[in-house]
Amino acid sequence: MTETGGHAPNWYPDPWGRHEHRYFDGANWSEHIASHGRQGTDPPGGVARAVTVNRATVKVQRDVQRAGVQAGGAQGGGTLFTEPVLVVNQKAKLIEINQEFAIYDQQGRQVGAVRQVGQSAAKKVMRFVADVDQFMTHKFQVVDSNGQVVLALTRPRKFMKSRIIVEGGNGQELGQIVQQNVIGKIRFALEVNGQQIGSLNGENWRAWNFNIQDHTGREVARITKTWEGLAKTMFTQADNYVVQLHEQLPQPLHSIVLASAFGIDTALKQDARGVNAGGLFG
């Protein structure tokens, strides 16, 4: 979990998930941390904040079936970047202050997680007492089954349209997911260095299902929201999604597609509440 792969001294995503970034001195992780541009100190080590949803295998497999995925179809390599089908399950909470998701393969084995990072105590209080999420910046880490940070997502504060900055585990920007409209079926451009390489397209006005296309307009992936039941829907904001990748995609498109899927309810739908709760971006 704390391997750096011989990276040079620099700021990288905090491998313990307590902060947004931690400084690596070329040999070891230091006590110097930063979140939302503010630096501080926190000794390295300890237990990484894991995300455990404890979702029954049979429920994960049922989600896959509901999404129309054929049981026993395409098999993968057992990792976030090699599985053709991923099930994203949100940890159900009556009061949503810190979002957490577990990511499973189609057999129900957890292969990763998404955790929110960099929230100060003051920010948590503000989120509890007021509906101000859209005016705040939200940051998330995607970790693999070993706890290694493989992607980092940042949704800057917004007024109308959302934007997601996607970084690799080394802290380098891979691309952005940029909202194109606010009325009708929601569309997002997948961009690298300002050039569009694909799109994320809502298939209905409530934005429950999405197709993801490459730069030629060919569908390369699909995201399907699954129905969890009336009780859970009424009393929590937890959502579940099935992600289908039709083929192994080249980088950085593959990472940005995964970020799009994980961002549906993490970085993107932070402020979808009230009468707009069925929509994606609020």
Residues 113, 264 contacting (CB under 8 angstroms): no
Query: Could you tell me which of 185, 142, 178 has the C-alpha nearest to residue 160?
Result: 178
Q: Extract the runs of DSSP E, i.e. beta strands, from the chain.
A: 10-13, 21-24, 29-35, 38-41, 85-90, 100-105, 110-117, 138-144, 149-155, 163-168, 173-179, 187-192, 195-202, 209-214, 219-226, 240-245
Highest CATH level, class, for 57-276:
mainly beta
Res. 120 pLDDT band, cuts 50 70 90:
low
Question: What confidence score (pLDDT) does residue 49 get?
Answer: 58
Q: Which residue has the higher pLDDT, 4 or 18?
A: 18
Rounded Cα–Cα distance for residues 64 and 169 (Å): 28
Beta-bridge partners for 142: 114, 151
Averaging pLDDT over each range in 103-107, 189-193, 222-226, which range is the top one? 189-193
Res. 251 pLDDT band, cuts 50 70 90:
very high
For residue 182 the two structure tokens come to 């606010």
**For the segment 15-41, what is each residue's pLDDT rounded down to a tens digit?**
887 787 889 998 899 999 887 778 989
Domain boundaries in the chain? 1-48, 57-276
